[in-house]
Each structure stands twice: as C-alpha cells, then as structure tokens.
Amino acid sequence: MTTSRAIGVDIGGTGIKAGIVDLEKGELISSRVRVSTPEGAEPKDVLAAVQQVLETLEVADSDLPLGVAFPAIVKRGMTLSAANISPLWVNFEAEKFFENGLGRDITFVNDADAAGVAEVRHGAARGQEGLTILTTLGTGVGSAFLYNGVLIPNTELGHLKRKDKSIEKWMAYSAKERDELSWKQWAKRLQEFYAHVEFIFSPDLFVVGGGVSKHPDEFLPLLDLKTPIIPAVHRNAAGIIGAASLAGDGH
C-alpha cells in the first residue's frame, strides 16, 4: 500500500525535527517542528521529545505512516551504535521501543540513509547512475550509498579512523565550530576526508547534506576532487522527507 502523505521525524545529536511530507512531491506540507535533543539523549527522554513534536504537529493520533530517522547503525529495528547519543542505544530494540511508546507502527532508519533516500527520489541525486555517496556534515558525519538509485544501508564513513579516532571528531561541522576554523581551514580537513573516500570507492557523485549545506559556496569550491560534489537539495529537511518516504512505501 502506498499513500500520498506521511510523517517524518529526524532525531539528531542536537535537535529533533518533524513534519508532514507530500510523498509525490517530496516536500514538507506542514511547518517543520523542532525541539532540542534532550541532554544525554537517553531512550525514554528521546521518546518523550518525539511525542512532543508529534503533538505539536497535531498528528500524535494520526493514522498516517510514520518514519523515524536516527543517528546510529540500524539493523532489523535495532540500534547497534551510539556516537553522539547515550550508550544505552547500543544493541537496543529501538523500533519496538518507539512502537510501544507511541502506540503505532513505525519505519525506523538511519538518519543519513533517510537523507540519501530523499535526495535520490526528489533531490540532488535523482536520476543519477552509478554510485552516489551522500554525506551529512553536522554534529557528526553520516553517509549514505545509493547505487543506481538503490540504498545500500548502514555505511559509516564518519567512523573511518584518523590518528586512532573517528575522523568525524576532526572534520564534522561541529569540529569547525569547536576549533573556530575558517571555511578555508575546515575545507582542508574535508579535502583529506573526501579525497580518501574518493580513492576507495570511485563514486560518480558526492552530495553534501546536513546543517552546513545551507552554505555550500563557502566550502565546496575549495575542494579539489575528480568527482562532482554538490549540495543536497533538501538540506536539513532531508531526514524528515526520507524517513516519511520510506514509511510511505508500506514497509
């Protein structure tokens, strides 16, 4: 069963966002509601925040499909990692937890994978052949691989190692702010990351999403890659749109 509208919730390291999505057009048809991610991001507190955004949108009792995007490896409804959230999410039955807590079925997916789906169906990667790699630059670094439009889930390029630490600690957008880097200084870090990924995977297109995709002219022209690199069309709404799209598929 497919439907023309669905609800998307995008849980991030700093904010939880939600909206109602027109699935034909791949765009928000409600206001985008946002609350701060609770301190520590423990399951019960995140669930309460999700309930809050659904109530604000007046869809808490709606029968529209609901997709939830989450910043962790997600396999068969379980969260297997926790980089910028509480360690309680590791090996946690998250999908069941949200379904029980919200009293409804949901579609539960990695946040960068959701953003990738939004961009391949309705955005920067639409119609792109070969391998598209989407990266989200925010609190951490998420990634989505899309091969001829098909999602290959749970790639975690932000956890490539640099000096024995996840590279995202050094080159996420949060690192730019933490280390007070200029765009040029930050772009040098991005260059190291993208050149390495390009060498390993030989992609046909890079798409850059996350909060920083509002400012593509500040840093994308500073990168020297063989692969075209373009900003995401849906920017910070991509996780909402992708999660809703996957929920609308009737999974």
The CA distance from 48 to 39, in Å, is 12
pLDDT at 210 (0 to 100): 87
Contact status, residue 38 vs residue 53, Cβ threshold 8 Å? no
pLDDT at 251 (0 to 100): 45
Torsion of CA 59, 63, 69, 75, to 10 degrees: 150
Token pair belonging to 170: 């050094």
Question: What's the DSSP call for residue 172?
Answer: S
pLDDT at 1 (0 to 100): 47
SS3 call for 214: helix
User: Could you read off the pLDDT of 52-79 as tens digits, one per residue?
Assistant: 999 999 999 999 999 999 999 999 999 9
Count of CA atoms in the C-beta half-sphere (13 A) of 233: 17
Q: Which segments in the chain show pLDDT lower than 70?
A: 1-3, 251
Token pair belonging to 59: 């869809």
User: Could you read off the pLDDT of 208-227 as tens digits, one per residue?
Assistant: 998 888 899 999 999 999 99
Backbone angles phi and psi of 224, in degrees to 5: -115, 95
If phi over 0 gives left and psi between -120 and 50 gives alpha, with beta otherwise, what is residue 67? beta
Count of beta carbons in the 10 Å neighbourhood of residue 243: 36
Helix (H) or strand (E) run with residue 131 in it: strand 131-137
Helix (H) or strand (E) run with residue 152 in it: strand 150-152
Token pair belonging to 204: 């046909």
Q: Which residue shows structure tokens 């080159």?
A: 171
Q: Please give the single-letter amino acid code of residue 194.
A: Y
Which spans in the chain are helix H? 43-56, 94-102, 111-122, 168-171, 173-178, 183-201, 216-219, 238-248
Q: Please give the single-letter amino acid code of residue 98.
A: F
The pTM for the full model equals 0.93
pLDDT at 17 (0 to 100): 96
pLDDT at 3 (0 to 100): 65
Longest dimension (CA), the chain: 49
